[in-house]
Amino acid sequence: MIVYERPVRFEDVDAAGIVFFGRFMNYAHEAMEHFFGGVAGGYVDLITRRKIGFPAVHVTCDFRSPLRYGDVVRIAVSVAKIGNTSSTLRYEFTRADNGASVALMEHVTVASDLVSLQKLALPDDVRAHLELHRH
Amino acid sequence: MIVYERPVRFEDVDAAGIVFFGRFMNYAHEAMEHFFGGVAGGYVDLITRRKIGFPAVHVTCDFRSPLRYGDVVRIAVSVAKIGNTSSTLRYEFTRADNGASVALMEHVTVASDLVSLQKLALPDDVRAHLELHRH
Amino acid sequence: MIVYERPVRFEDVDAAGIVFFGRFMNYAHEAMEHFFGGVAGGYVDLITRRKIGFPAVHVTCDFRSPLRYGDVVRIAVSVAKIGNTSSTLRYEFTRADNGASVALMEHVTVASDLVSLQKLALPDDVRAHLELHRH
Amino acid sequence: MIVYERPVRFEDVDAAGIVFFGRFMNYAHEAMEHFFGGVAGGYVDLITRRKIGFPAVHVTCDFRSPLRYGDVVRIAVSVAKIGNTSSTLRYEFTRADNGASVALMEHVTVASDLVSLQKLALPDDVRAHLELHRH
């Protein structure tokens, strides 16, 4: 499990005054980029030099309590499943101040060649890092 | 079923060159706002005057093929379930040019008082509109 | 002058309840993409096939009155200056319902090769379209 | 001068492969929120409890070199001018790795009551903090 924290930004809320539900995907992706910090070169090197990406094929999210401007969200990232080309990340969103549950998201991605968008076996270093944080 | 179309915007893609997965939530919400055009005053009136919102409590999305800059996405909105306070919208994303399947999303929302964030019975006009487009 | 209209989106407002100032750049870029509809293939073809982009080198914006969720903004695009590689677009933002002035933006871009990011002379068809809409 | 750093996010780039010019406003606003950390309660307290906001009335930005995914941007915030109700923040964007100039932005805001959107004299604590960081 790797933990990532970030404040709710001024422009993350919507006309209902709470964080727009789609932003949770942005928050999760930030947490995933942070998670991949454990692979040499990180997510940036995967994308920009190795040309390996992890497009989403499936996402599920339960929203339990709203976030507002001023809140800080803590996202605990763990790995629920590891396949040959796919992996499932699990994001547990809580409020940093009191630990209250905010959301729970699962995110299945498939390792892909960014030029052809064909799927790839998970690279060894990525697989090893995923194994390390398996739920 | 109500259909909404929009082009992929220049800034909707990510560093992998395809539409960021979180943007599908923005696209779905736009389609939902369009869908609520069938209620007098539309979504804007619900939010700004009636102070009734529809926060997401659950979202599921299958991503089937990527979108790129230049694509136009067609979103067919229908209603999968209607509860007392909740409703489930279903969004079928296809490419406008060839009808290829892009994504399928389900989005459960709960009618809520935007001041207290307490849930509400679905207003009659909203319920009637949902019934009209039940899958 | 070419006119583009779009509603303020649910997630375009910020925690102060008005459209986030940075969104005006997104709105202007949408209007610019619409403006380039007058060049064969449009902005999409320039970017994706011809690999010619128009990165901003200078932006100025006066904000005159706020936009809120539910407003529709009308953007009149015209051309203030045409250089060898650069051009200056002018965007006049008004409210679609009453014509009230919302913002005035100027946006200087430089035609650039998207592979090398080196500047280019304005392509003839782009220059002709700009001349047609010179202020 | 107060310095704020942040990485370019995966979804901050556009179809031309560089950071979308409008995102610089988001980056600047983040830097401004950080800057206001020097006022008791910070920007969050101003917005959510004191109901005082700082809508932009004028923005100017020079873009000098592009940012790409993987870059880290450093933003030095200082105060260029202080009026009765208005203030001008200056943001100098450089690359964190080599100090190369990326952009220079000026941002004039007017202290405003967020309920009425009428302008206000700068609160004393805000003014004192601005004076401290005058250019």
> What ipTM is given for this predicted complex?
0.95
Q: State the Cα–Cα distance between residues B22 and A10, nearest whole angstrom.
A: 18
Q: Mean pLDDT for chain A?
A: 97
Please determine, for residue A30, whether its predicted confidence score (pLDDT) is greater than 90. Answer: yes
Token duo for residue B10: 């220049």
Chain D residues in contact with C58 (beta carbon < 8 A) = 60-63
Q: What is the pLDDT of residues C38-85, one digit of tens each?
A: 999 999 999 999 999 999 999 999 999 999 999 999 999 999 999 999
Residues of chain A positioned with their CB less than 8 A from the CB of B13: none
- Closest CA in chain A for residue C21: A11
What are the catalytic residues of D? 14
Gap between the Cα atoms of D44 and D49, Å rounded? 8
Q: What is the pLDDT of residue B135?
A: 82
Given an 8 Å threshold on Cβ–Cβ distance, is D16 in contact with B10? Answer: yes
B104 contact partners, CB below 8 Å, separation of at least 6: B61, B62, B64, B90, B91, B92, B93
User: Within chain B, which residues score under 50 in pLDDT?
Assistant: none
Counting one residue from B and one from D, how many pairs have CB atoms under 8 Å apart?
Answer: 28
- Contact between D124 and D132 under an 8 Å Cβ cutoff? The reply is no
Interface contacts (A, B; CB < 8 Å): 78
Based on its alpha-carbon atoms, the radius of gyration of chain D, rounded to whole angstroms, reads 15
pLDDT digits (tens, 9 = 90+) for C79-126: 999 999 999 999 999 999 999 999 999 999 999 999 998 999 999 999
Of A10, A14, A69, the CB nearest to C11: A14
Q: Which of B12, B14, B71, B125 is catalytic?
A: B14
Q: Nearest C-alpha of chain D: how many angstroms from B66? A: 14
Task: Provide the token pair at A69.
Answer: 């401007």
Would you call B16 and D10 a contact, using CB atoms and an 8 Å cutoff?
yes
Q: Which of D13, D18, D25, D69 to mutate to test the interface with B (most CBs of B within 10 A)?
A: D13
H-helix segments, chain A = 23-35, 42-48, 124-132
* C63 interfaces chain A, CB cutoff of 8 Å: no
Residue of C nearest to A12 (CA): C14
Check pLDDT > 90 for residue C134: yes
Nearest CA-CA partner of A40 in A109, A128, A133: A128
Q: D18–C55: do the CB atoms touch at under 8 Å?
A: yes
Cβ pair D88, D78 in contact under 8 A: no
Radius of gyration of chain C (CA): 15
Superfamily per CATH, domain D2-132: Hotdog Thioesterase (3.10.129.10)
Residues 2-31 of D with CB under 8 A from B: 10-11, 13-17, 20, 22-23
Rounded distance between C-alpha atoms, residue C108 and residue D24, angstroms:
15
d(CA D68, CA D84): 39
DSSP C37: G
Residue pair B106/B59 in contact (Cβ under 8 Å)? The answer is yes
What whole-number distance in Å separates Cα of residue D117 and Cα of residue C18? 10
d(CA C90, CA C108): 9
The count of CB pairs under 8 A between chains A and C is 28
Q: Per-residue pLDDT for chain D (135 aa), expressed as one digit of tens each?
A: 999 999 999 999 999 999 999 999 999 999 999 999 999 999 999 999 999 999 999 999 999 999 999 999 999 999 999 999 999 999 999 999 999 999 999 999 999 999 998 999 999 999 999 999 998
CB-based burial, B93-118: b 16+ in 10 Å, e otherwise: bbebeeeeebbebbbbbbbbebeebe
**Nearest-neighbour CA in chain B from D5: distance (Å):** 20
Q: What 3-state class would DSSP assign to D61? A: strand
Q: Do B13 and D13 touch (CB under 8 A)?
A: yes
A86 contacts chain B (CB < 8 A): no
Question: Which residue's entry shows tokens 């422009």?
Answer: A11
Residues from chain D that touch A69, judged by Cβ atoms under 8 A, are 44, 47-48
CA distance C64 to chain D (A): 7
Question: Using an 8 Å Cβ cutoff, are C27 and D25 in contact?
Answer: no
Contact in structure between D88 and D7 (CB atoms under 8 Å): no
Mutate: best of B11, B19, B24, B25, partner A, most A CBs <10 A: B25
Which tokens sit at D87? 């203030």
| Contact between residue D35 and residue D58 where contact means Cβ atoms under 8 Å apart | no
Q: Say whether C14 and A13 touch across the interface (CB within 8 A).
A: yes
Residue C135 — very low, low, confident or very high, per pLDDT cuts 50/70/90? confident
Residues of C with catalytic function:
14
CB A120 within 8 Å of CB A111 = yes
Please, are residues D107 and D91 in contact by the beta-carbon 8 Å criterion? Answer: yes
Closest CA to B103 of B113, B115, B112, B91: B91
Reported as type and span, the H/E element at residue A109 is: strand A101-110
Which one of A11, A44, A52, A109 makes the best mutation probe of the D interface by having the most chain D beta carbons within 10 Å? A44
Contact flag C48-B33 (C-beta cutoff 8 Å): no
Q: How many CA atoms lie within 13 A of C98 on its CB side?
A: 6
Residues D28, D107 contacting (CB under 8 angstroms): yes
Nearest chain A Cα distance for residue D58, angstroms = 18
What is the Cα–Cα distance from B59 to A61, expressed in whole angstroms? 5
C81: distance to nearest CA of chain A, Å? Answer: 33
d(CA D131, nearest CA chain B) in Å: 37
Q: Choosing among B9, B12, B13, which should be mutated to test the D contact, i.e. which has the most D CBs within 10 A?
A: B13
Closest CB from A15, A22, A23 relative to C13: A15
Q: Give the tokens for residue A87.
A: 């992996």
